[in-house]
Amino acid sequence: MNEKISPSDWIWVVIGKQGQAETMFGIHDAENDVHFIPIFKTKDEGLGCLPRLSQVGNMTYELQATRFEMVQATANEKKYYIYMLGSLGEILHKIPPE
């Protein structure tokens, strides 16, 4: 994927919920030793990939639409990459933290 993602673009992100607390879902990529937040261009891609993502404990997970700038702010704060994934979990695009 070579297209640029604009801060105002809508994307889909995985949200982990435990009780009333919600958090953006992050993953450790052991092969590259980086943490990342998975995002998806479409809801269908996210729904296809969601069962493939490693999940933790008794949290529930759902997809939420949000502006890319919200994910980017969280990723930059935590020094996480952002990986745009396809429905099979393939990496389409890697965005490093700023």
**Quick one: average pLDDT of 63-89?**
96
pLDDT value, residue 3: 63
Residue 80, pLDDT above cutoff 80 = yes
CA–CA dist 10, 63 (Å, integer): 12
Q: Per-residue confidence at 56, pLDDT binned at 50, 70, 90?
A: low
* pLDDT, mean over the chain: 90
Largest distance between two CA atoms of the chain: 38
Cβ atoms of residues 59 and 1 within 8 Å: no
- CA 80, CA 58: separation in Å to the nearest integer? 23
